[in-house]
Chain A
């Protein structure tokens, strides 16, 4: 959570050392560095690649938020989360193809309505799926040895993957790209509509989540449950409901990322969730697990690492680059780049 997630009382809470403006300034510097690296590597296509990285990063960030929220509140790596994203992309695929769309919709009103339907339904369905998973597979094991829910999570991940595998398709499925693709020129920036849409949507959802967690009573309940579950319970927080809602929101965000996957890449497949989940988890760790702002930033960082690897001619190694980043972060700064919210006894 944004302000806290120290599950153990003795765990030290790292003070935010950068000050109020530290994060924005750091972000601005990171963006400039990322842009320069893109331009050096890709020349004239630097800007396009930069936007591409932001878009992919936005998708990872949306998935990473769910990881970090769940880890923050019940300290479980929800391995099934990447697969929730994957199922979300299939829900959107199913909706759009059943409604009979296969290509760009040029009427802005129809497009808006269809997009709203796709996002609301996919996010709603995945949110419910997340709650059901939590209820059936994780809640009974909340006080079991730590290994037990981890193994269950792996099992759930395989169940989701293989339901799609046997039920829908065992190969790549083309998903309708309903957003038309004109090149917009905003001042000096040239950006395609879909990229603009994805980036704006991702940022908007993150801001909404931030406001939700910091301003609403359920958000406060989540934060207090993350800090100390028992104390929160004593203070009247309904723990089960709070955790269920955390799963709902996290899974809904993954569902949104799933819709974006179909819209942006135009394809989906039963096993994309595995890789995407790993990368998003890396993003969450990179940002300091339990920290939603960190997860969002980490998502963009992963997007940049991946695109930069491709720009510099190591596209086939981009996955290796991401996981090496994960290992290096865990070794040298297990608390993540933003300073951790969840102290680790190492």
Chain B
């Protein structure tokens, strides 16, 4: 009775302790609530429910990317600027495994782990020589890697079909469960439900990793690599694991992405993808699984829906062009979508200056980022005076 009473009194504590259950409940809630919310104004005016649900499935890809990048950047404190490369590798893996290009048609559900595995292997291959270097060198090497991978997919035409990419990639299938065979192009629901399920599983695994010996080792390395090494942590292996686990999540996202789009081309995996994922992690709160998930979803929706609606809203107001001294401002002529990356850039800088722990911070990260080390008490970090 008392145990039950305690649970009932603090459901929050209960859910904190049973993260897998909370994730499951969260996933169910998202599946049930989001499609209903978009039927209500003002969202109902922005598009049909079907369009929204398709959009949620696309957002799910970015949520996966952000979750994976969060392992590298948030947990282990390594800056990976070429994360889109692993996304590309996952996408091309599925393209090879299930299209006319190779003639193979391996089921989607088998290719999911295969894509993750291949991406993880590439993570190891890139990480093994470079993770010995200090963090900022790693950032630049990953940046270079992120540039090379699309170039390889573009130039190795014999194997990748160059600019045109690989098309006619097989659809996923549920093999008759819920009456759905092939997912098709018109029905968004199987994609939406699948990606929510994939995200939920990834989140559960990541939560378990975060609280494991490995997760604690990541935090130790992030906060002080030298101290971690002297406590007996093999820093190279630990960082390598963060790198390849992060890569494998991007691989999952890549498989889903190419299956949903049914084609892959090299230009889909440029630096802007890596940058967007980084912005999602930073804004969501580095190291916080729930925060990053929410951050990625919100940013994706702002980018895909918000700016477009803002554009439509401003256009509908029909404000005439006005003149401020030498500058003429014509709001109707502004394409807000162009400002997307400018806003991300500003958001990254402002977040790091004012709220480095993100919008939804993890408690540990707050402590770490706001803790003054004894010898720099002369330096006031912006957050200290809060």
Contacts and interface: CB of A to CB of B under 8 A. Distances in A.
A141 B352 contact: yes
A169 B376 CA distance: 44
Nearest to B281: A151
B132 A319 contact: no
Contacts of B134: 344-346
Given A144-B369, A317-B151, A319-B151, A166 B339 contact: yes
Kindly state the interface size class of chain A when it binds its partner.
35 or more
A327 B130 contact: yes
Given A154-B81, A155-B349, A147 B135 contact: yes
B40 interface: no
Given A155-B345, A316-B155, A327 B338 contact: no
Contacts of A44: none
A159 interface: yes
A141 B353 contact: yes
Contacts, number: 140
A293 interface: no
Interface in A153-184: 154-159, 161-163, 165-166, 170
B144 interface: yes
B356 interface: yes
Nearest to A316: B155
B342 A159 contact: yes
Contacts of B376: 143
Contacts of B21: none
Contacts of B339: 162, 166
A161 B341 contact: yes
A282 to B, nearest CB: 8
Kindly state the interface size class of chain B when it binds its partner.
35 or more
A229 B382 CA distance: 22
Secondary structure at the A interface, as helix, strand, loop or mixed, is: helix
Q: Which of A136, A137, A151, A161 is most buried by chain B, counting CB atoms within 10 A of its CB?
A: A151
A140 B155 contact: no
B353 A137 contact: yes
A177 to B, nearest CB: 28
Interface string B68-93: 00000100010101000000000000
A149 B348 CA distance: 10
Given A140-B353, A155-B352, A145 B369 contact: yes
Nearest to B347: A155
B282 to A, nearest CB: 6
A151 B342 contact: no
B347 A77 contact: no
A234 interface: no
B41 interface: no
Given A274-B271, A317-B151, A150 B144 contact: no
B139 A166 contact: no
A147 B77 contact: yes
A271 to B, nearest CB: 9
Interface in B338-386: 338-339, 341-342, 344-349, 352-353, 356, 368-369, 373, 376, 379, 381-382
Given A158-B342, A166-B339, A278-B144, A344 B347 contact: no
Contact of A144 (B81, B129, B344, B381): B381
Given A146-B135, A320-B148, A158 B341 contact: yes
B379 A142 contact: yes
Contacts of B154: 316
A141 B140 CA distance: 20
Contacts of A113: none
B345 A157 contact: yes
A75 interface: yes
B147 interface: yes
Interface string B44-64: 000000000000000000000
B141 interface: yes
B137 interface: yes
Contact of B341 (A149, A162, A345): A162
A75 B140 contact: no
B278 interface: yes
B49 to A, nearest CB: 33
A331 interface: yes
A281 interface: yes
B275 interface: yes
19 contacts: A76-B136, A143-B376, A145-B368, A146-B136, A158-B275, A158-B344, A158-B348, A159-B346, A159-B349, A162-B341, A165-B338, A316-B151, A316-B155, A317-B155, A320-B152, A323-B147, A326-B141, A327-B129, A330-B137
